[in-house]
Amino acid sequence: MGDVTISLKSNHSAAIEKYRQTFDHGPSMEAYKFMSAEDLDKKALNAVSLGKPVEDWKNRHKTPTGTILDQAYGIPIPRSSFEK
């Protein structure tokens, strides 16, 4: 059986790093999942140039969406979500 290596080194683009340094947070997990790297960079650089963070990225940690990703942000998922 082979070994699996997971790098902990950041692999963000320069645009995302600039956004992180400017606003002290990065894109949401959903943004990484649903946006291309090019679109992420454009959105990040636009926010930096305007001096305003992307609200969806900024507030994701306190915005319940009803998905399993809520748990990654420390948002509890109601037990009723699992019962169907």
> What domain range includes position 48?
14-81
pLDDT at 79 over 60: yes
- In whole angstroms, what is the distance from residue 60 CA to residue 79 CA? 21
Task: Please name the residues in contact with 64: beta carbons below 8 A apart, sequence gap of 6 or more.
Answer: 70, 75
> Looking at the domain assignment, is residue 3 inside a domain?
no
Residue 50 has a pLDDT of 98
Q: How confident is the model at residue 15 (pLDDT cuts 50, 70, 90)?
A: very high
> Looking at the domain assignment, is residue 8 inside a domain?
no
pLDDT at 52 over 70: yes
> Looking at the domain assignment, is residue 7 inside a domain?
no
Domain count for the chain, please give it. Answer: 1
- The kind and range of the H/E element at 45 are helix 37-50
Contact call for residues 27 and 56 (beta carbons, < 8 A): no
> Looking at the domain assignment, is residue 50 inside a domain?
yes
* pTM of the predicted model as reported, rounded to 2 decimal places: 0.72
Q: How confident is the model at residue 81 (pLDDT cuts 50, 70, 90)?
A: low
Query: What SS3 state is found at 4?
Result: coil
> Looking at the domain assignment, is residue 21 inside a domain?
yes
> Looking at the domain assignment, is residue 71 inside a domain?
yes
- In whole angstroms, what is the distance from residue 73 CA to residue 26 CA? 13
- In whole angstroms, what is the distance from residue 29 CA to residue 7 CA? 18
pLDDT at 84 over 80: no
> Looking at the domain assignment, is residue 38 inside a domain?
yes
> Looking at the domain assignment, is residue 32 inside a domain?
yes
